[in-house]
Structure 1
């Protein structure tokens, strides 16, 4: 039996936002490998083995998946959102590069998904309608000074910004430092979008000016989007619409 490995994005949470391509791969799989809460989103069935593991063991998880595929299994490594955005695709390729030579010849596919960043942006309008960047605020795999440097340069370049992993119990102060950097360099009215658990039952999306943004508004289930200097808010009877125009004044 010829094995294969698919690295799949399950989207932000709702089943309707899982792509047909990912659903088809899961239907063919013999094994699903991933972080515990993501594997829990995959329905059990005869012939399918679920391999759930804890956080911060991405390389071990990747090696396990590659070993299973090398033994002829049909393996899906699951991530939330898109697997190439701060997720398992990079970890798998790190393992391929440093691992067994035979892994390089495996049938490996990356199946894209809807990112939390894009799902959050869609909820409020089009805040990423012009140039934007995404920054992972976790300092688990990179030092804080790199995060702050990238943040400062992104503000200077006037990107709209999407922040992943803004605040956790282990890192309660990092997002406060981010807000301090923003307040020193951006106008107080700059729109900030706090989008928590988008597409899930506990979804909560708030749009506030930078002056009203507080660290406790974010957690690890929140994507934070910061508008650029040109981002606009359209007030209306319901929730406001937020968008960044497609053009930039000369």
Structure 2
């Protein structure tokens, strides 16, 4: 049997948002590897072995997947959202580059998924309708000074911004500092979208002017989208529509 590694995105949460391509890969897998809550989304069946592991062991998880594929197993490495956006695809290729030469000849595929950022944007309207950037606010793998630099440059460039991992129990101060930087650098009341657990039963969405934003509005299940200077809010009964126009006046 020829082994393989498929790095698959499970989307933001709802089963309907898992792509048919990913579902087919899971149906053919002998082994599924991933972070505990993501592996829990994969239904057990005969012939499939689930390998859940804790957070922050991405390289160990990747090496395990590659070793099993070298033994002829069909391995799927799962991430939420898209595996190439702050997720497992980079970790697997990092392991490949540092590992045995034979790993480079394995059948390795990356299957895209719907990111939390795009699911959140769709719920709100079209806040990422023009140029935007995504920033992971966790300083586990990069220094805070770099995060702050990128925040300030993104504001200067007037990007809409999507923030992943905004606020955890172990590092609540990071999002406090992020809001302070934005309020200082933006100088306006641009809209901020707090989108929590989009497409799940716990979904919650709120649109808040930047000056009124508070750190406790976000947690690790929240994607925060900050509009650019041109982002518009269309008031209506219920939640407003938020969109960024496709063009910018010269």
TM-score bucket of the superposed structures, by smaller chain: over 0.9
Counterparts of residues 92-107 of structure 1 (less than 5 Å): 92-107=92-107
Instruction: Tell me the SS of whatever aligns to 1:245.
Output: coil
2: CA distance, partners of 1:188 / 1:168: 27
> What number of residue pairs does the alignment pair up?
250
What residue in structure 2 maps to residue 110 of structure 1? 110
- For 1:238 and 1:206, how far apart are their aligned partners in 2? 11
Q: Deviations over 1:205-233 (max 9, x none)?
A: 11000011000000000000000000000
Structure 1 residue runs of 4+, over 3 Å off? Answer: none
The aligned counterpart of 2:210 is 210
Does the CA contact (< 8 Å) of 2:31 and 2:51 recur in 1? yes
Partner residue in 2 for 1:63: 63
Residue number in structure 2 paired with 1:10: 10
Instruction: State how far apart, in whole Å, the 2-side matches of 1:25 and 1:32 are.
Output: 10
List per-residue Cα deviations over 1:224-247 (Å, max 9, x = no partner).
000000000001112100000000
1:154 equivalent in structure 2 = 154
Q: Secondary structure in 2 aligned to 1:33? A: strand
Q: Structure 2 CA distance, aligned partners of 1:188 and 1:149?
A: 20
Tell me how far apart the structure 1 counterparts of residues 94 and 82 of structure 2 sit (CA, whole Å).
17
Residue 168 of structure 1: how far off its partner (Å): 0.2
CA deviation map 1:51-99 (0-9, x unaligned)? 0000000000000000011100000000000000000000000000001
Query: What is the aligned partner in structure 2 of residue 226 from structure 1?
Result: 226
Which residue number in structure 1 is paired with residue 29 of structure 2? 29
Counterpart of 1:245 in structure 2 is: 245
Secondary structure, counterpart of 1:113 in structure 2 = coil
* Secondary structure class of the residue paired with 1:41: coil
The match for 1:181 is: 181
* Inter-partner Cα distance in structure 2 for 1:6 and 1:214: 40
User: Are 2:206 and 2:239, in contact at CA under 8 Å, matched by a contact in 1?
Assistant: no
> Separation in 2 of the partners of 1:189 and 1:240?
15
Give ranges in structure 2 of 5+ residues lacking alignment.
none
Question: Which deviations, in whole Å up to 9, do the C-alpha atoms of 1:98-137 show, x marking residues without a partner?
Answer: 0111000000000000000000000010000000000000
